[in-house]
Amino acid sequence: MVRLTGIFTEPSAYVGFAFGWFVFLLECWLRDILPRRTGPAALALALVLFFSTSSTAYLGLGGYGIIVGLRLLLAPQHLDARKGLTLAGAALALLIAVCALAFLWPAFIDLMSTILRRATIDKQDSESGIQRAFWARIGIDAFFASYGIGIGPGSFRSSSFVTAMLGSTGLIGSLAFLAHLARAFRPLRISTYCGPRLGRQFGENTMIGAAGGWAALCVLIPAAVVSPTCDPGGDFAVFAAISLALRSLPLPRAAAVAQRPSVATWRRPVPAHSG
């Protein structure tokens, strides 16, 4: 089976690169940042990831889909309704296309089920899955053998960014990385979750920075299952730098006040009752 690798040596490395830019472009589209360019580009990358037959791609798309679904469910007032309808329409169109293709070409279902089964369910029993599980356990063993201190970056090869971080840098290094990630992502800022309507108060730079924060966070999803080292990669550095740089710029006074989180901000508006 021919698999997509791009300019990389293996599909998982290509997926790790493409997935981060897919998240960044889609987040820009959700915030109306050059929507005529970022939207089609994100769609093209989503199709490439889907047809890459890589389990890492399916894990990343599934994890990010859950994140977007939770954002739409918990804070729908901060996202544009048209964007949500567009995403739902795209998912429905994809479902209709798959059903039509299955009707016209019955062997398509068997082919896709075989590909998905090999990339997901049968992955653990494959040679690649067994090797990844073995290398991931080395990071855990290194963490406990060093009593939580870590044995240093580059001291061993892992197959998960999480276990590589724990085994290499220990508890202190892992907490320092989480602090850096939180500083780039800024989970308590309203601009992290808002859509284009509220985003106009903060300006385009802040919205691009928020998209970079989401990309920096989500790029760790594929890395959690394929990265051999504790280095989060160049894409993470780029996205984190975008967020840190653009969201550190001074905001207008009204936007600075709106950034302050409050309970009332997250509640859905309650319609007034006449009486």
Dump the DSSP string for 244-255: HHHTTSPPPHHH
Pick out the chain residues at pLDDT < 50.
262-270, 272-275
Residue 261 forms part of a structural domain: no
Q: Which residue type is seen at 244?
A: L
Dump the DSSP string for the chain: -----TTSSSHHHHHHHHHHHHHHHHHHHHTTSSHHHHHHHHHHHHHHHHTT--HHHHHHHHHHHHHHHHHHHH-GGGS-HHHHHHHHHHHHHHHHHHHHHHHH-THHHHHHHHHHHHHTGGGTTSHHHHHHHHHHHHHHHHHHHTTTS---TTSS--S-HHHHHHHHHHHHHHHHHHHHHHHHH-TT-GGGT--HHHHTTT-HHHHHHHHHHHHHHHTHHHHHHH-SSS---HHHHHHHHHHHHHTTSPPPHHHHHHHS--HHHHSPPPPPPP-
Enter the pTM of the model. Answer: 0.78
Predicted confidence at residue 157, as pLDDT, reads: 80
Residue 162 forms part of a structural domain: yes
Measured torsion, CA atoms of residues 120, 126, 129, 134, in degrees rounded to the nearest 10: 160
Pair 136, 158: CB distance under 8 Å: yes
Q: 């859950």: which residue's tokens? A: 66
Q: Domain limits at 118?
A: 11-255
Residue 96 forms part of a structural domain: yes
Measured torsion, CA atoms of residues 183, 187, 190, 191, in degrees rounded to the nearest 10: 50
Residue 262 forms part of a structural domain: no
Predicted confidence at residue 25, as pLDDT, reads: 95
| Count of the separate structural domains present in the chain | 1
Residue 173 forms part of a structural domain: yes
Residue 275 forms part of a structural domain: no
Residue 157 forms part of a structural domain: yes
| CA–CA distance, 136 with 227 (Å, rounded to integer) | 10
| CA–CA distance, 134 with 34 (Å, rounded to integer) | 44
Pair 230, 165: CB distance under 8 Å: yes
Residue 176 forms part of a structural domain: yes
